Structure 1
Amino acid sequence: MNALPPELQAQVEAICAEGCNHVRAVIRRLEADSPPAELRKLDPDARQRILRELQAIMAVYDAH
């Protein structure tokens, strides 16, 4: 797994700081290609990288 660049990691951390429900909402929006305002400025590749990272994080929580 490739580490995210610092600017994308900061976005992931900010999203996660809002809690699991927010993370799930962001995942749904990214999957629907309707990114939230804070991610719209990113290119599609960056948004996909954030989506994959959020999905991986939530997979840990959802497994328990």
Structure 2
Amino acid sequence: MITDDKQINSCLEQICEQGCRSVNQVIQQLELGEVIEDFAHLSRVQQQRLLQELKSIMAVYAVTGSCEV
């Protein structure tokens, strides 16, 4: 489990299953403050936490170069 928030964990799993490009797209949308229908049920704080977690996950791939975007 990545966080102690089950809703965020569920969203993380859903996003990450779609691959690197989708993850990066979601990161970009969240950074721009866009409403993403699949995650609209999350509070603003949860959405920011989701963004932080996604960035942390993708940072690992950036270091290893194992995720082509």
Same structural fold, with TM-score higher than 0.5 when normalized by the shorter chain: yes
One-letter amino acid matched to 2:27: I
1:29-48 equivalences under 5 Å are 29-48=29-48
CA-based RMSD: 1.4
Q: How much has 1:39 moved relative to structure 2?
A: 1.1
Task: Give the TM-score normalised by the residue count of structure 1.
Answer: 0.90
Task: Give the TM-score normalised by the residue count of structure 2.
Answer: 0.84
2:25 is aligned with 1:25? yes
Query: Aligned to 1:3, what secondary structure does the other structure show?
Result: coil
Higher helix share: 1
Report the more deviating stretch, 42-51 or 3-12.
3-12
Q: How much has 1:8 moved relative to structure 2?
A: 1.1
1:15 paired residue number: 15
Q: How many residues align?
A: 63
Larger Rg: 2
- Unpaired runs of 5+ residues, structure 1, are none
